[in-house]
Structure 1
Amino acid sequence: MSDAPEVNRGLVTPARVVIGLCLAAPFVAMLWVGSYSRTDPQFIGIPFFYWYQMLWVLISTLLTMTAYKLWQRDQRARASQKGGAAE
């Protein structure tokens, strides 16, 4: 009975929580239309509605890059723990 394979479930780590927040933030910001459905303040003649959304394109890129780098670091840490435990 003790020969059953061990099920390795994913752990909720602080890094993974940050990754989730980085990926969820742009969706929340864009789905909360009431926060940006206005024309003022304008930026170089562009209404707020448009430049706010374009700003989120840049912010989303940065957040996605951050999430990816955190994921890579998390995977390397897990691989080194797995390799260290096997030796």
Structure 2
Amino acid sequence: MTPEQKGKAESRTRRSRWVLLLLLPYLGLCFPIVYAQSTPALWGFPFFYWYQFAWVILASALLAIVYRKLKT
């Protein structure tokens, strides 16, 4: 294997590890039975709603992290 091919293979491996972070929002929202409850409430919002909204913010942060890591 040439050094150039080895560098590309390492880059793909590193890339795939960062992309795995994008599975977290999917797994966090995939099973509504876990978070389909009304308590605990936060500022009057049931757990079901603020949990999903928290994942929107967290998913955006994860996308930014993965984007910056893959950009280099």
Q: Tell me the TM-score normalised to structure 2 length.
A: 0.77
Q: Distance in 1 between matches of 2:21 and 2:46?
A: 26
Q: Deviations over 1:11-50 (max 9, x none)?
A: 3424531x22221111111112122111100001100000
Moved over 2 A (4+): 10-16
Quote the RMSD (CA, aligned, Å).
2.0
Q: Which amino acid aligns with 1:26?
A: P
Q: Is it true that 1:35 corresponds to 2:31 in the alignment? A: no
Per residue, is there more helix in 1 or in 2? 2
Q: Which residue of 2 aligns with 1:4?
A: none
Partner SS state of residue 38, structure 1:
coil
Structure showing greater Rg? 1
**Where does residue 45 of structure 1 map in the other structure?**
44
Three-state SS of the structure 2 residue aligned to 1:13 is helix
Identity %: 28
Q: 1:39 and 1:25 mapped to 2: Cα distance?
A: 23
The alignment's TM-score, normalised by the length of structure 1, stands at 0.65
Q: What is aligned with 2:13?
A: 13
